[in-house]
Amino acid sequence: MRSLAPTLQTTYANLVQMHVNRPAFEFEGAPFTMVRKGKTYWYANQRPAAGGAPKQRYLGPDTEEMRQRIERMRADQQSIAEFRRHTSSLVAQLRAGGIAGPGREAGPVLRVLANSGVFRLGGTLVGTHAFQQYGLELGVYLSEESDLFSRTDDIDIASFEHLSMAIGDTADPDLAGALAQLGFKPANSLTPKTPTSWTLANSQYAIDFLTPSFEENQRPAKLAALNMWAQGLHYLNFLIADPIPAVTPYMEGLLIQLPRPERYAVHKLIVSQKRRGGSGAKKQKDIEQARALIAALAETRPYELNEALAEADSRGQSWRDALDQALDITFKAPAMKHDFDRDIVWFEGSALGQPHRCAISEEALDDHFGAKSGTAEDQLDAARSNRSKIEALMRKKFRVEPSAETLLTTDDVATLKKVARPPN
C-alpha cells in the first residue's frame, strides 16, 4: 500500500492540531450600534450555519463593560481570520497532493453538522464518509485499494443516547432547521413521529442518525443534545467507543469525529456476517472497507488492530462466530512456489473476497516440518507433505493477526499449535 508523502502527513497533522486548538469567537460580522428610544445597544450580524440571510444578534446595552467586550471580540475575529487563511492554505496543499475532499452534496451537509455542534456534542461520523477519511489518518492512499471513493453514500451520524442526555447542551443553530434550509426533510417511515432519516428533496440522498441498541428490539431513541431521533443498532457501541478528532478537507477544513480505524475495520467484519438476505451489495462493501483498512493497519498499527479483535472476541459467542466467518482463509490445492529472495515457500488462498498470499519461512519448515535441507526441492517437499497442517496454522494466524499477507515463522508455528481458538 502506497504511503502519503511525509509532507502531506505533516500538513494534515498540522491542520488537525489547528482545528482542535482553534480560537473561540462569539459572532461573525462587524459589531454595530443601534439607538432605540434614546438608548444605544450593540448588535452583530450572525449568518446561519446553513447559509441564508444574516440575522441581527443582540449583544447588550452600550456600557463600558460592553465596549471592552467588543474590543476583545474584535481581536478574536482577527485571530479567526488568520486561522481561516492558514487552514484554507493547508487544505489547498492536501488537495494539490491528490487528497479528495467531500463532494458537492456531502460538503455543505457536513459543514452544517459541524457548525451546529453535532461533533462537539458527541456525534461521530460513521459509514463510507468516515472510511474515506482514514487515508489521511493512516498516512496511505486508501483510494488505490478500493473503488468506494467513487460511490455516493448517505451520511451516517452515530451517538450514545446516555451521552447525549448527560451533556446538558444542544445543537445551535437548531439542527432540524439548518437541515431544512438545505432542502432536507424527515423521510417517510412507519414511525413518522420519530424520524431517524432525513432525505434531500427530489433525491435519494439521506442523512441517517444512529445510536447503539442493547435490546433485541432495535427501536429509535432520542438524542437530546441534537434534538434528533436515532435508529438503534446492535454492535454500534463497539464502533463509536473512544472516537478520534479528524478534519475533512472542505473549505478551511471541518473538525469532525471518527471511530478509531481499527474499531471500524473490526465492526465491518462483524456486520458483514450479520447482513440478511438481499443485502449482498452492502456485505461486499463492508468486506472491501475492512480489507483496505486491515492492509493499512497491519503495516502501521498492528497492535491496535489485534487489540480491537481481542476486545471483540471477549464480547461473546455471537461476536466470535461472526469474526470466525469473516476472517477465514479457503484453499483449493494451490500450487506451492519457492521464493529464493525471501527464503519462503508461498501459495495462494482466498480471504476477504480476494486472493490472499500465504507464506511459510524456510526456518519454520526446517524446525517443525522436517525439511531435509535448504534447497528449493526439499523445502517444497516438506511444505507439500504437510499442506493441511500448514493451511490450518495459516487460518489460525489470519484469524488473530489479519494482514495483506499471512507469513508463518517458526515462532508462529510453536505458538499457534497451542491455540484452539482466539483468546476469550
Q: How many CB atoms lie within 10 A of CB 388?
A: 9
Query: What predicted TM-score, i.e. pTM, was given to this entire model?
Result: 0.86
Which H or E element spans position 134?
helix 134-138
Intervals of the chain under pLDDT 70:
23-29, 46-55, 143-152, 167, 190, 277-278, 419-424
d(CA 368, CA 347) in angstroms, rounded, equals 18
Position 25 scores a pLDDT of 60
Position 312 scores a pLDDT of 97
Position 423 scores a pLDDT of 44
106-313 matches 337-416 in fold: no
DSSP 8-state secondary structure symbol assigned to residue 314: T
Residue bearing cell 479567526: 80
| Assigned CATH for 337-416 | 3.30.160.140
Cβ(234)–Cβ(218) below 8 Å: yes
- Buried-exposed string 323-357: b where 16+ CB fall within 10 A, e elsewhere: beebbebebeebebebeeeeebbbbbbebbeeebe
User: 106-313: which CATH architecture?
Assistant: 2-Layer Sandwich (3.30)
3-state secondary structure of 194: coil
d(CA 352, CA 178) in angstroms, rounded, equals 40
Cβ(169)–Cβ(180) below 8 Å: no
Single out the residue of 407, 355, 360 nearest to residue 387, CA to CA.
360
Position 46 scores a pLDDT of 67
Residue 305 Cα distances to 18, 83, 407, angstroms: 28, 35, 17
Q: List all residues 6 or more positions away from 22 whose beta carbon is below 8 Å from its beta carbon.
A: 80, 83, 255
- Buried-exposed string 172-185: b where 16+ CB fall within 10 A, e elsewhere: ebebbebbeebebe
Single out the residue of 105, 104, 150, 133 nearest to residue 285, CA to CA.
150
d(CA 334, CA 125) in angstroms, rounded, equals 41
d(CA 164, CA 240) in angstroms, rounded, equals 13
d(CA 383, CA 336) in angstroms, rounded, equals 8
Task: Kindly tell me the sign of the dihedral angle through the C-alpha atoms of 144, 148, 149, 151.
Answer: positive
d(CA 383, CA 71) in angstroms, rounded, equals 78
Position 369 scores a pLDDT of 95
Q: Where are the domains of the chain?
A: 6-96, 106-313, 337-416
Residue type, 189: S
Position 11 scores a pLDDT of 97
Position 424 scores a pLDDT of 42
d(CA 227, CA 344) in angstroms, rounded, equals 59
